[in-house]
Amino acid sequence: MMGQGLDTSAYVHFPWCLKKCPYCDFASAAIRRGEVPHEDYTDAIVRELEGRPVAGRRLESVFFGGGTPSLWDPKALGRALAALRGAFDAGGDLEITVECNPTSIDAEKAAALREAGVNRLSIGVQSVNDGRLRFLGRLHDAAGALRALEAVVPVMERVSADLMFGMPGQTADDFEAEIDAVLATGVEHVSAYALTIEPDTQFGALHRKGRLTLAPEGDFADTFERAREVFRAAGMIHYEVSNHALPGRTSQHNQHYWRGGDYLGLGAGAVGTLNGRRYKNDPRPERYLAAPAAAEVFEETLEPDDRVREALMLGLRTDEGVRFDTVQARTGLDARAGRERAIARRVASGDLVVDDERMRIPHERWLHLDGIVADLF
């Protein structure tokens, strides 16, 4: 394969949470705290890792996602992290992120995770309004979410919070107040996502029956623009459609994805892409735990054209856009070839900015991103 590169991120999926949220379509299942198979799951991760072709690659970052990986015993998680470092012969300067829910993180747990090698937490706050948290089916309340952030910010090197907008009845003023409350805790990165209705979720079923509506498009746009103003006033960079960070505090792991880099997926339900081959592991934890090696349920080979389209779909979500030389090195193709007329049309309408090195979508057109990218496919 041409120009694959050896820089690789690792995603470790933890498939359990205390409660399945009604909007969530991730590979996760509810479990009681006392039933989590901490050591057995680490054993399975290490077993899978031993069979993955990562020798000679450089590890860029590690992300423990889920589910709720902060339910995992920090020492067991640390053993999985140590195995990853050993497999890649990784140095010390790595971004290591663990996703958390406010109900599964406090100062003591954060300190234990830091001792295990973690240096970044991503906390699923989603809202600091009790009514909206009940709507989302979350286990925490607003006060609990803010307490969790205040507890871990002094302990962990870097902390990010997730927030959602686009819920019924939620106004731009409402979301501004929530952003202000979260930023007051000292977090340096916020992922602000629009609520989307996925078909295979409880919300999807309600939406099909006409029993769940989203915020009107005009409210969505107003809230998106207001959020950007609030984050900018706080000194944050809007570096990807849904992500804002203080300078130097962007997510290295997510940027590696958006730039189209290879990534190793480990764990039940994890997806990985190495050397142009994409795979997905069995999402059923019991099957994954029992497998003697990787328990894959899907694989495909990504052709150069596929990788170009992915580069456009992901890279154009970011403020840096798509670099032509990076795409050429990875795929052997010029991302502009065959798209000249569509690119010219979008440049003329102000939807694209193109120079010799890259193309990007200006911030003021990000609300129209999906249509612009689709035009380039």
pLDDT tens for 321-368 read 999 999 999 899 999 999 999 999 999 999 999 999 999 999 999 999
Q: Are 20 and 262 in contact (CB under 8 A)?
A: no
- pLDDT at residue 3 in the model: 35
Q: Residue ranges of the alpha helices (H) in the chain?
A: 38-50, 74-88, 107-115, 130-136, 142-152, 172-183, 202-208, 217-233, 252-258, 285-290, 304-315, 324-331, 340-348, 369-376
Nearest to residue 121, comparing CAs of 189, 27, 72?
A: 189
4 — pLDDT class (breaks 50, 70, 90): very low
Sequence spans of domains, the chain: 7-258, 320-376
Single pTM value for the model: 0.90
- pLDDT at residue 202 in the model: 56
Nearest to residue 231, comparing CAs of 179, 185, 184?
A: 179
Nearest to residue 133, comparing CAs of 123, 145, 122?
A: 145
Q: Is the pLDDT of residue 69 over 70?
A: yes
Mean pLDDT confidence for 66-70: 89
Nearest to residue 36, comparing CAs of 296, 294, 289?
A: 289
Q: In one letter, which amino acid is 135? A: F
Question: Which CATH number is correct for 7-258, 3.40.50.150, 3.40.630.40, 3.40.50.620, 3.20.20.70?
Answer: 3.20.20.70
- pLDDT at residue 304 in the model: 93
Better-predicted residue by pLDDT, 171 or 22: 171
Q: Using one digit for the tens of pLDDT, what is the confidence trace for 279-299?
A: 999 999 999 999 988 889 999
Burial of 272 (0-12, 13-18, 19+ CB in 10 A): buried
- pLDDT at residue 2 in the model: 35
Assign 37 to helix, strand or coil.
Answer: coil
Query: Angle at Cα 286 formed by Cα 24 and Cα 35, nearest 5°?
Result: 80
